[in-house]
Structure 1
């Protein structure tokens, strides 16, 4: 280990970058827009990857205005390209969707085996979840607020409350826990999802 190692370990982390347990930047724990390996910012890397060294945005817009280019969606530097592994935000949304939907279809009167399986699923998250920062936080939360697997309504409410705890920490809006069935099982009353 040379002087560069000592210097780089003391260098400030870019905003939003999360360190993993190995002391290196954690890709799965960091939002794509904040991922800055090396000297290129996540935004710069995304722009390079999406444009492939082709036309600039101004040149593309001029071509579109002239009708000489096929309209394509503009690159979003905060979202990874579709073939990339998920970032922390995509993984979180997918995990919460899975958990809430599973709770929405959980039985009202679960058997002892169903209760045990649900508890195993919930308790496995802090052990197996790829984002160690998220996993540790969830593990601490379920120690303080043990899972309620007594039935569908109780489990849905418990998960909604856990999700809202995360939303508070992330300064996001909280979800109305009286609407869990509407969101993850039945759909809105207007029939727009039927």
Structure 2
């Protein structure tokens, strides 16, 4: 059993559900009832699956875009270890298991900044494809996560 599983296996996992689904499972609201308003999650609540995913991808992409152009052998090994350890402890178990399988098939490419950033973008697009979300143009990865858009909108 993964170390991050809750003791109460029947209790819905916030990190594995979006807020509305989680709130429904807690009987806090019924969205299909007339005159009921969808719940608004206060900003200081635990992250739900969507918040966690956005935050995590933002962190990982930023980390990859600031990774050394020419990492030492130790840095490359450590980054590869990081992704393998990360996949074991990600709070959403189905997401963690899925990522573990994906990186077994496609191990981290840690020999350069560009290779790591492209590898991560491909992994993210694998998830986006499964979720029916738009794919990101991986040629713009550093523009998005390090340099800012060429149109100056981030300046």
The two structures share one fold, judged by TM-score above 0.5: yes
Say which of 161, 172, 181 aligns to 2:142: 181
Q: By how many angstroms is 1:38 displaced?
A: 3.8
* Residue number in structure 1 paired with 2:3: none
The question of whether the paired residues in 1 share the 8 Å contact of 2:62 and 2:146 is answered with yes
Aligned counterparts, 1:5-84, within 5 A: 22-35=9-22, 36-41=24-29, 43=31, 77=39, 80-84=41-45
The question of whether the paired residues in 2 share the 8 Å contact of 1:147 and 1:158 is answered with yes
* Residue number in structure 2 paired with 1:140: 101
- Distance in 1 between the 2:152 and 2:105 partners? 39
Q: By how many angstroms is 1:125 displaced?
A: 1.7
The question of whether the paired residues in 1 share the 8 Å contact of 2:14 and 2:47 is answered with no
Query: How does the TM-score come out when normalised to structure 2?
Result: 0.85
- Distance in 2 between the 1:43 and 1:94 partners? 27
- Distance in 1 between the 2:112 and 2:30 partners? 43
- Distance in 2 between the 1:92 and 1:187 partners? 21
Change (3 A) 1:90 1:42: farther
The question of whether the paired residues in 2 share the 8 Å contact of 1:32 and 1:42 is answered with no
Q: Note if 1:125 corresponds to 2:90.
A: no
Cα RMSD, aligned residues only: 2.3
Q: By how many angstroms is 1:116 displaced?
A: 1.6
Change (3 A) 1:147 1:111: same
Runs in 1 of length 4+ with deviation above 6 angstroms? none
Change (3 A) 1:37 1:187: same
- Distance in 2 between the 1:108 and 1:116 partners? 15
- Distance in 1 between the 2:98 and 2:78 partners? 22
Change (3 A) 1:127 1:42: farther
Q: Which protein shows a greater Rg?
A: 1
Query: How does the TM-score come out when normalised to structure 1?
Result: 0.69
In the alignment, structure 1 segments of 5+ residues that lack a partner are 1-19, 45-55, 58-74
Q: By how many angstroms is 1:120 displaced?
A: 1.7
